[in-house]
Structure 1
Amino acid sequence: MPAFAVEAAGVDVRFGRTVALADVGIRVREGETHALVGRNGAGKSTLVSVLTGMRVPDAGEVRFFGAPAPPVADRAAWRARVSCVYQRSTVVPDLSVAENLFLNRQGAVVRWSRLRRRAAELLEQYDVAVSPAARVADLTVEQRQLVEIARALSTGARLIVLDEPTAQLDGPAIERLFERMRSLRAGGVAFLFISHHLQEVYEVCQTVTVYRDARHVVTAPVADLPEPRLIEAMTGDPGGLAVPGASGRGAVGEEVLAVRELSGDAFADVSLTVRAGEVVGLAGSASSGKHQLAETVYGLRRASAGTVTVRGVPVKDVPSALRAGVGCVPRDRHHQGLVLNLSVAENARLSVLDRVVRRAALHRAGQAAITSYDIKADGPGQPVSDLSGGNQQKVVLARALAADPAVLVLINPTAGVDVKSKESLLGVVDARARAGTAAVVVSDELDDLRACDRVLVLFHGRVVREFGRGWSDQELIAAVEGMGR
């Protein structure tokens, strides 16, 4: 029987009166990929901070291969046991691959030829096909992720925590990552795999642990826990994900958004219309141009040709989009959607902050957003940085809807959120569409696209297919991958 790469038992963590973890544990075997799943705020991130030595628990213990965890101050000892590849990259973009691989380990005197040679050997050992001299900023997301994994393994770590590793990867890149994980597993490396994509849990993991409300719920072989039971363990409610709007919404109204022969970064000659009360989806691979198209519709990017109008009013940049009545949930909530050091109320009203003068009015507006969008927060004044990912996303949606837009553009609206938060977010979109808002949903999530009245598929920057309701997963995925055109 393989040894346990890590064992945590009886772990408690409290932040004042808030219980972040209550008597939880987890055991990951050598050579195993072990999933840790749960709703936003279930305690997953807190456990990772304990397992990586970033936080001392109030109670409990952590052991690596049967030996007690090292003192928190001994960072080198922790890096030799465990490393985490976070959803948000921790590599330094302006440094080379070689410099990132040996950051803080290059020695007092740097011999650059030797450093690059050692980096090349390491990259070859773990089959990472990038140049040691390449600037990390010039790498793809997939390549940066593999560099981080190679860096982790080079310290001797035999436990790798992967936090939402596929959030920014397309289908082929995800499969290459999974193949790399399987190869490393065969060599005894253990993975703790954190993901809201439950289908990935079944594809790549052998064991799954579920946390709910800061407590351990169940640990079981993946094969023994079918998806409805897994979702029930995560939410406490029987049944699977309900997709609001999936069964239709009735008649649509007049044309609101018109995109005519639009060309720009990574897409060309795209035309589409969206009517009042209609939700149109955009699907495609990461290189399809779908994100760039949506960002051009909102004015974040300049078009090279063609027009975007909302009820006849031209959209050319963000100010003109706001004046025309376009609201947007952007692709990256941390850099484009939120000001992390501002409060929930301030973030929820950013798009109309000039209309709120008095502090009391801002507080009332923030409380209304918390109530309307089921945001789990201590109050309107809480910094948005304190919230879980799902609740942060709800704040972004509240901000996008604060001005009562005629058109709502949502880019990966449920990325990194749990099942119930996904239902809540899609429910808001459905309710707005029923009230007459036109919406464009750009997503890699099939459940997000199921809420759409139509789905347009982009391939290499052009619309190649259009699906009405009733499409099958196989049909849509085949079109995304460019098959059957």
Structure 2
Amino acid sequence: MDTQHPLVAATGIVKRFGPTVALADGNLTVHAGETHALVGRNGAGKSTMVGVLTGLLKPDAGEVRFAGVRAPALGDRAAWRERVACVYQYPSVVKELTVAENLFLHRQPRGRFGLISPSRQRRQAADLLDAWSVAVSPDLPAAELSVEQRQLVEIASALSLGARFVILDEPTAQLEGRAITRLFDKLRALQDAGVTFLFISHHLPEIYEICQRVTVFRDARHIVTDTVANLDRDKLVAAMIGEARGLVQVGADRPAVPDTAEPVLELAGVTVPGHVSDVDLTVRRGEIVGVAGSAVSGKRQLAEALAGLRGRAGAVFVAGRRVRPGTVRAALDGGIGYLPGDRNIDGFVGGLSVAENATMTIAKKLGPAGMVLPGKRDAAARTMIADLDIHTSGPDQPVGELSGGNAQKVVMARALAGDPEVIVLVQPTAGVDVRSKESLLGAVDEKTREQRGALLISDELDDLRVCDRVVVMLGGRIVAEHARGWDETQLVAEIEGINEHRA
């Protein structure tokens, strides 16, 4: 290994897309054997830098060097794969194939007469998984991999091609606490074995847990690179947002919801087969109720059932009216707005415009006889853009072109478009920057002050702090309930099942 040069050095990177400057002064230096964080608000230039570092984008100026040697030509994909790999937040495995078939996709081992040898492929896959201590069967269909397992399989595949520099793009966004701990233990072991990581995350506490150095981008420029020990959280946030202050605690001045307030959402014996058992819960007007729990607690399935995406037993009432189960239309007509947990898969259609995505749930109100009048649709979208501070060129811009935070605001706009009595939100701030978090949680705070109710399901403790109450789910049941001002240690213990007690 070349110890005289950084493992990766990107200097003076400039990248434009038409009139948009995605990177104006991108600089990043990563040393061999470290885990280096790259942070910044959505739109700061992180994704563009990843595209340049992986050879998917050609910079308009600047250069990338690996261990002092200039990066390969863009068309030489094999040479790029030997130097760098990126494990994205969303799967790049082929779900219909086995783990072994994914590991050796386009490079299958051959046997007699040059034919693909499944037995040799399986054996080599088993050896590869064993070499990097990935406890997954090579015969397992990729569709059955957990998010954690899928990431480790993709890392093993990259390492088998020779790459020792791996970019991790929001690796924990879809993981619960214990899975994050296991992933971090594995990353440390790989780091000890000579693997270098670039770690991209909006969850700032993770930066201090797993990384040694951090680089901050803001407004398409490099702002600072330093050790994590030298950048405390306030300094890091200030570098990201350009203001010498910490985050606003959204909802800190929320008025107490009286016990006599009218129920706006009532669950009675709600059961989702295989996931949720006999849940009773009431949300009062003006109240935000948080739901905490592990990935297998049933909290997400409960939300999906309320949104009509899953069948359920038991009764759900919104403002005293019973909501028919099992259909999205019944949930919408019943007064339930829904923000799904994965915007890229369930939240929006990337090729459709901001206006088309934001008004999907109210299309029948935008013209006569089932027709959508573009002028009326765009006018509604402009109001949503202003209300949620969506940074876009206008209602016609495709959502797929927006940063993650602004795309999430479009999904929030759609959830609020029908003026619902109750908003059900799953992971509302996953993978968004600090200012977008404030904006999204601020919208929930504002809407509930207008005597609506909200059920907020999240793994992020910062999200749950806006809530008036938090319930904890474990094994498909509610096992604890806490008023505002809950103790973090106790809550985490209950989420992990360490300190279970009845509500």
Q: Structure 2 length normalisation: TM-score?
A: 0.95
Deviation per CA, 1:415-450, whole angstroms, max 9, x where unpaired? 000000000101000000111110000000011100
Q: Does 1:76 align with 2:78?
A: yes
- 1:109 Cα shift? 2.7
Q: Aligned to 1:381, which of 396, 399, 402?
A: 396
Q: Look up the SS of the partner of 1:200 in the other structure.
A: helix
Deviation per CA, 1:146-185, whole angstroms, max 9, x where unpaired? 1111011110001000000001111111111111111111
Q: Aligned to 1:162, which of 163, 168, 176?
A: 168
- 1:98 Cα shift? 0.5
- 1:53 Cα shift? 0.2
- 1:353 Cα shift? 1.1
* Alignment-derived partner of residue 334 in structure 2: 324
Q: Aligned to 2:32, which of 10, 30, 33?
A: 30
- What does residue range 266-281 of structure 1 map to in structure 2 within 5 Å? 266-281=275-290
Q: Is the 8 A contact 2:271 2:279 kept in 1?
A: yes
* Alignment-derived partner of residue 454 in structure 2: 439
- 1:2 Cα shift? 7.0
* Alignment-derived partner of residue 116 in structure 1: 122
- 1:249 Cα shift? 2.5
Which whole-Å CA distance do the structure 1 matches of 2:486 and 2:253 have between them?
Answer: 12
Q: After the TM superposition, which of the residue ranges 6-15 and 233-242 deviates more from structure 2?
A: 233-242
- What does residue range 21-420 of structure 1 map to in structure 2 within 5 Å? 21-106=23-108, 109-252=115-258, 253-264=261-272, 265-303=274-312, 305-315=313-323, 316=325, 317-357=327-367, 358-420=373-435
- 1:247 Cα shift? 4.0
Q: Is the 8 A contact 1:5 1:158 kept in 2?
A: no
* Alignment-derived partner of residue 370 in structure 2: none
Which whole-Å CA distance do the structure 1 matches of 2:89 and 2:4 have between them?
Answer: 29
Q: Which runs of 5+ in 2 are unaligned?
A: 368-372
Which whole-Å CA distance do the structure 2 matches of 1:262 and 1:456 have between them?
Answer: 15
Which whole-Å CA distance do the structure 2 matches of 1:261 and 1:410 have between them?
Answer: 21
Which whole-Å CA distance do the structure 2 matches of 1:446 and 1:412 have between them?
Answer: 11
Q: Which amino acid aligns with 2:35?
A: T
Q: Does 1:20 align with 2:22?
A: yes
* Alignment-derived partner of residue 10 in structure 1: 12
Q: Which amino acid aligns with 2:49?
A: L
Q: How many residues align structurally?
A: 484
Q: Look up the SS of the partner of 1:268 in the other structure.
A: strand
Which whole-Å CA distance do the structure 2 matches of 1:297 and 1:18 have between them?
Answer: 41
Q: Which amino acid aligns with 2:290?
A: G
Which whole-Å CA distance do the structure 1 matches of 2:294 and 2:461 have between them?
Answer: 13
* Alignment-derived partner of residue 424 in structure 1: 439
Q: CA RMSD in A?
A: 1.1
Which whole-Å CA distance do the structure 2 matches of 1:10 and 1:341 have between them?
Answer: 32
User: CA, structure 1 residues 109+33, in 2 after alignment: closer, same or farther (shift >3 Å)?
Assistant: same
Q: Is the 8 A contact 2:490 2:499 kept in 1?
A: no
- 1:3 Cα shift? 4.4
Q: After the TM superposition, which of the residue ranges 62-71 and 336-345 deviates more from structure 2?
A: 336-345
- 1:290 Cα shift? 0.6
Q: Look up the SS of the partner of 1:95 in the other structure.
A: coil
Q: Look up the SS of the partner of 2:7 in the other structure.
A: strand
Q: Which amino acid aligns with 1:453?
A: D
Q: After the TM superposition, which of the residue ranges 305-314 and 418-427 deviates more from structure 2?
A: 305-314
Q: Look up the SS of the partner of 1:71 in the other structure.
A: coil
Which whole-Å CA distance do the structure 2 matches of 1:461 and 1:87 have between them?
Answer: 26
Which whole-Å CA distance do the structure 2 matches of 1:378 and 1:314 have between them?
Answer: 41
Q: Is the 8 A contact 1:351 1:403 kept in 2?
A: yes
Q: Is the 8 A contact 1:94 1:135 kept in 2?
A: yes
Q: Is the 8 A contact 1:3 1:30 kept in 2?
A: no
Q: Is the 8 A contact 1:39 1:235 kept in 2?
A: yes
User: CA, structure 1 residues 2+470, in 2 after alignment: closer, same or farther (shift >3 Å)?
Assistant: farther
Deviation per CA, 1:114-157, whole angstroms, max 9, x where unpaired? 11110000000011111111111112111111111101111000
Which whole-Å CA distance do the structure 1 matches of 2:355 and 2:23 have between them?
Answer: 27
- Of all paired residues, the percent bearing the same amino acid is 56
- 1:251 Cα shift? 3.2
Which whole-Å CA distance do the structure 1 matches of 2:345 and 2:392 have between them?
Answer: 21
Q: Aligned to 1:462, which of 477, 485, 489?
A: 477
- 1:363 Cα shift? 1.5
Which whole-Å CA distance do the structure 2 matches of 1:309 and 1:444 have between them?
Answer: 26
Q: Which runs of 5+ in 1 are unaligned?
A: none
Q: Which amino acid aligns with 2:349?
A: V
Which whole-Å CA distance do the structure 2 matches of 1:49 and 1:2 have between them?
Answer: 26
Q: After the TM superposition, which of the residue ranges 59-68 and 313-322 deviates more from structure 2?
A: 313-322
Deviation per CA, 1:195-223, whole angstroms, max 9, x where unpaired? 00100000000000000010000000000
